[in-house]
Amino acid sequence: MDNKLDNLRHSAAHLLAAAVMELWPNTKRTIGPAIENGFYYDFDFGEVKISEADLPKIEKKMHELVRGWGTFDQLQETTSREANQYKQELIDELKQKGEKITYYKSGNFIDLCAGPHIESKASDILKYFKLLKVSGAYWRGSEKNKMLTRIYGTAFPSQKELDDYLNMLAEAEKRDHKRIGREMELFMFHESAPGMPYWLPKGMVFYNELIKFWREEHQKRGYQEISSPLINKKQLYEVSGHWDHYLENMFISETAEKETYGLKPMNCPNAMVVFGSKTRSYRELPLRLGDTDCLHRYELSGTLNGLLRVREFRQDDAHIFVSEDQIEQEFKNVFEITEKFYSVFNMPYRFRLGNRPDNLMGDTETWDKAEKILEKIVKDSGHEYFVGQNEGAFYGPKIDIMMKDALGRDWQTGTIQLDFQIPRNFKLDYAAADGSQKTPVCIHRVIYGSLERFIGILIEHLAGAFPTWLAPVQVAVLPIADRHLEYARSVESALKSADIRAEVDDRSETLSAKIRDAQTQKVPYMIIVGDKEVEAKKIAVRTRGGRDLGQLDLQKFLKDIKIEVEGKRIGKTI
RNA sequence: GCCGAUGUGGCUCAAUGGUAGAGCGGCUGUUUUGUAAACAGCAGGUUGUCAGUCCGAUUCUGACCAUCGGCUCCA
């Protein structure tokens, strides 16, 4: 915590704790740091139940208290102060580490704290805060510990910045992909299959478009597509290591013959089987095997969240088998694909380098090597990156693609993983140029990540206004009166024969109503046909952006929209 | 899984210890409309599920199911 905003928020957390202690004196307070967009404080309220209905009361108390607060002063104390069990645990730990124990005092409130805090008087600058939500959180993040009550809030140096942030939250709420998905009839969920989306006709249109784009771009780059079994015998996962390292996330099935099968949570084991299905030569490398098979992962019920966290999904997956000296070049190739895809969606991104996790497979030597190679690669890429400690896959380190959406939120989408382990487990080899048998290295990579998750993010990023190439309905044809229906249908069929997704709105509604509905459905183009158009054999075009393009020649419009679709121009209409 | 909240027709929401209403949507009819909502009528709900209390439950209690917000940020 080294910047002013964090100090402000950290101080706000103290204020929150002070207010809570006044209102519920028997509460045991624990810790309260500044976090990315605000702060929180964890409390043990004992028998008392706190809900969001209590927040206004706490906020009011905070405003009241802060009026009497001056600066935050560090107390140097040689003896520890009275402490509850949580604070005592922290103090004991600090003593063991030989660290200095300090307290901060603000008003009459004293808390164990390393600082730093705001330097000016709290009554002057600690005014623009808001408590946002209440939730449970385990003491020290471990589910083995007691569940505490966490109160989240945010604070800013000015009312305007606070308002802007709250408006951003409201905007995010409006863009919620679950809401848009329902309104646009893209996908749905049913309680009979929690966490597993149903894709409705309109959602399936762009699901397929995304896969089509993936297929085209990868075929060009030497990828070959495969598909493999969704359910495999336990033995496959024992060899791959998933049975030891990933079992708690797998759906398992017993058959009448007492065989144990598992639904595949990842495609890698099957890709290994394909590689090993015949004698391989170095001449085949890099061997790029892609697939979009369905995967199932048993995620905890409480973690499910619309399309962003699901139990059934597909990935734009590929396993690339390379020799060691091809690793670097192949990563460059994948980076080029990444750049292509994310620029098409107008999504800025950075990399996260994930190092070895605790639950890892393989020997230290190989991990050292893999991590060293990957670190060099990500540095050489010249792309912005940061390190995520322990974020690697159990079989190797990885580079994650972290994208930033239109509201400035970060999301993890794609991942590119370096794996020396699983090919070894499967005893894969190829004939090298020198005649020896060598083990290939595998690069696991997804660019979209999960299609489901990517689509969820895309919906929120674009607020449902898909670029024309992805829009479920690209053109709405709106006849003004019934006598224009025939002409409207001829326009529709001309568009359809040119592979443009067009629909006639043949309801006996006013033009305004038809426009309104097309507008809410975020249809990129509306073609309006009335007496004038029938007469002139033209079409009147209106864009989703509200622009009236006037009367156009149908053939000209067709040509332009085709160019736009082929060029996959984002967010821009003609 | 754990903490908290929520669950009423397709959607958004109202109401009540005496078996539920509205708007939008849907259907039908009228209207034939020129750039973000024409008018009228009709249909549609064992109030998430299962138990319990009660003369009576959708309303109270419990269990379960599902959904939403969190459970990584270390004084």
Summarised one tens digit per residue, pLDDT across range A277-316 is: 999 999 999 999 999 999 999 999 999 999 999 999 999 9
- Same domain for A338 and A235: yes
Residue A186 belongs to a domain with what CATH number? Answer: 3.30.930.10
Q: Is residue A354 part of a domain?
A: yes
pLDDT at A574 over 70: no
Protein CA at A530 to nucleotide C1' at B30, angstroms: 22
Query: What is the tens place of the pLDDT at every residue in A486-522?
Result: 999 999 999 999 999 999 999 999 999 999 999 999 9
A447 and A551 co-located in one domain: no
What letter does residue A103 receive in the DSSP assignment?
E
Residue A402: half-sphere exposure toward Cβ, Cα within 13 Å: 16
The reply to whether A137 has its C-beta less than 7 Å from any atom of strand B is: yes
The C1' atom of B23 and the CA atom of A129 lie apart, in whole Å, by 37
Would residue A197 count as lying in a domain? Answer: yes
Domain assignment present for A573: no
Q: Is residue A374 part of a domain?
A: yes
Same domain, A190 and A98: no
Chain A 381-440 residues whose Cβ is under 7 Å from strand B: none
The answer to whether residues A64 and A160 belong to one domain is: yes
CB atoms near residue A466 (< 10 Å): 26
DSSP letter for each residue of A152-200: EEEEESSHHHHHHHHHHHHHHHHT-HHHHHHHTT-EE--TTSTT-PEEP
Determine, yes or no, domain membership for A468. Answer: no
Q: Are residue A443 and residue A486 in the same domain, yes or no?
A: no
* Residue A221 or residue A173, greater confidence: A221
Please determine, for the modelled complex, whether the ipTM score is greater than 0.90.
yes
With contact defined as beta carbons under 8 Å apart, do A315 and A447 qualify?
Answer: no
Rounded average pLDDT over A139-145 = 88
Q: What is the dihedral of CA A129, A133, A136, A141, to 10 degrees?
A: -50
Give the pair of three-digit tokens for residue A279.
């004698």
Domain CATH code at residue A535: 3.40.50.800
What pLDDT, on the 0 to 100 scale, is given for residue A79? 61
How confident is the model at residue A49, as a pLDDT? 82
Are A260 and A395 part of one and the same domain?
yes
Give pTM, 2 decimals.
0.92
CA dihedral sign of residues A233, A235, A238, A240: negative
With cut-offs at 50, 70 and 90, classify the pLDDT of residue A96. confident
- The tokens of A458 are what? 């895309």
Q: Taking residues A375-392, what's their average pLDDT?
A: 92
Q: A130 pLDDT exceeds 70?
A: yes
In a shared domain, residues A191 and A331: yes
Among the candidates A121, A156, A172, a domain finishes at A172
How many domains is chain A built from? 3
Q: If you average pLDDT over every residue of chain A, what do you get?
A: 92
Domain that holds residue A219: 179-462
Whether residue A412 sits in one domain with residue A265: yes
> What pLDDT, in 10s, does the model give residues A204-213?
999 999 999 9
CB hemisphere CA count around A505 (13 angstroms): 27
Distance CA A86, CA A286 (A): 54
Half-sphere exposure of A137 (CA within 13 A, CB side): 17
Shared domain check, A295 and A192: yes
Q: Which of A9, A268, A314, A453 is catalytic?
A: A268
Domain membership flag for residue A470: no
Rounded-to-integer distance, Cα A230 and Cα A296, Å: 9
CA of A537 vs C1' of B4, distance in Å?
62
Determine, yes or no, domain membership for A555.
yes
Residues 277-336 of A with CB under 7 A from strand B: 300-306
Do residues A149 and A187 both lie within one domain?
no
Which whole number is the average pLDDT over A198-227? 96
Alpha-carbon distance A224 to A505, whole Å?
42
A342 and A487 in a single domain? The answer is no
**A160 burial class (0-12, 13-18, 19+ CB within 10 angstroms)?**
exposed
User: For residues A253 and A255, what is the distance between their CA atoms, to the nearest angstrom?
Assistant: 7
Task: Looking at A417-530, list the stretches that DSSP marks H as alpha helix, in order from N- to C-terminal side.
Answer: 422-425, 451-462, 485-497, 511-520
What tokens appear for A177 in the block?
């992909």
Taking 90 as the threshold, does the pLDDT of residue A570 lie above it? Answer: no
| Boundary of a domain, candidates A436, A462, A488 | A462
A153 and A220 belong to one structural domain: no
CATH number of A52's domain = 3.30.980.10
- pLDDT, residue A77, reads 65
- The verdict on residue A155 lying in a domain is yes
Which of residues 42 to 61 on A have a Cβ less than 7 angstroms from any strand B atom? 49, 51-52
How many residues appear in chain A? Answer: 574
The answer to whether A64 touches A172, Cβ cutoff 8 Å, is no
CA distance from start to end of chain A: 48
In the structure, what pLDDT confidence band is assigned to residue A86 with cuts at 50, 70 and 90?
very high
> Quick check: A97 CB within 7 A of strand B?
no
Domain boundary among A462, A487, A508: A462
> What tokens does A213 get?
């784009």
CA of A183 to C1' of B41 (A): 27
**Structure confidence at residue A1 as a pLDDT band (50, 70, 90):** very low
